[in-house]
């Protein structure tokens, strides 16, 4: 568990109705974009306080984002339940990626959570060269 309920509240969040379930899903989403960094390294022992705080803030944001989605918080559920077009009178609006505007690509990570991670180094996808 990367974020406790008390930490979640201390960060100013309080919308999560099922925090334990949502935190587990948020972990999966953040692990996917950070290449499992905190699965391989201890979050509690990380000496980079900036990175730790930004990561926990991203976790809290992601928990709230998932809470807002309702019962189906999987990527396939979001894609399947989102309409690809809407018609009002003679006006038709089509969106091939409906429902995904608030996420980064097809990751289910909210853009707001992703933004918190930008300057932490956790999103780096390069190869170490020596």
In the 3-class helix/strand/coil scheme, how is the chain assigned residue by residue?
CCCCHHHHHHCCCCCCCCHHHHHHHHHHHHHHHCCCHHHHCCCCCCCCHHHHHHHHHHHHHHHHHHHHHCCCCCHHHHHHHCCCEEEECCEEEECCCCCCCCECCCCCCEHHHHHHHHHHCCCCCCCCCC
Task: Say what the pLDDT of residue 80 is.
Answer: 52
Task: Say what the pLDDT of residue 12 is.
Answer: 95
Per-position pLDDT tens, the chain of length 130: 999 999 999 999 999 989 999 999 999 999 999 999 999 999 999 999 999 999 999 999 999 999 988 766 655 555 555 556 666 776 766 655 544 456 777 678 999 999 999 999 999 877 767 7
């Amino acid at each position: 568990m990367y974020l406790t309920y008390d930490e979640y509240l201390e960060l100013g969040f309080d919308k999560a109705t099922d925090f334990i379930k949502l935190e587990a899903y948020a972990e999966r989403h953040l692990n996917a974009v950070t290449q499992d960094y905190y699965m391989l390294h201890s979050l509690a022992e990380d000496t980079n306080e900036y990175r730790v705080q930004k990561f926990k803030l991203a976790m809290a944001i992601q928990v709230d984002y998932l809470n807002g989605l309702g019962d189906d918080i999987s990527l396939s559920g979001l894609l399947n339940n989102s309409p690809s077009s809407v018609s009002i009178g003679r006006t038709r609006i089509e969106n091939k990626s409906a429902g995904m505007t608030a996420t980064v690509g097809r990751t289910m990570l909210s853009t707001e959570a992703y933004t918190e991670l930008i300057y932490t180094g956790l999103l780096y996808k390069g190869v170490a060269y020596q």
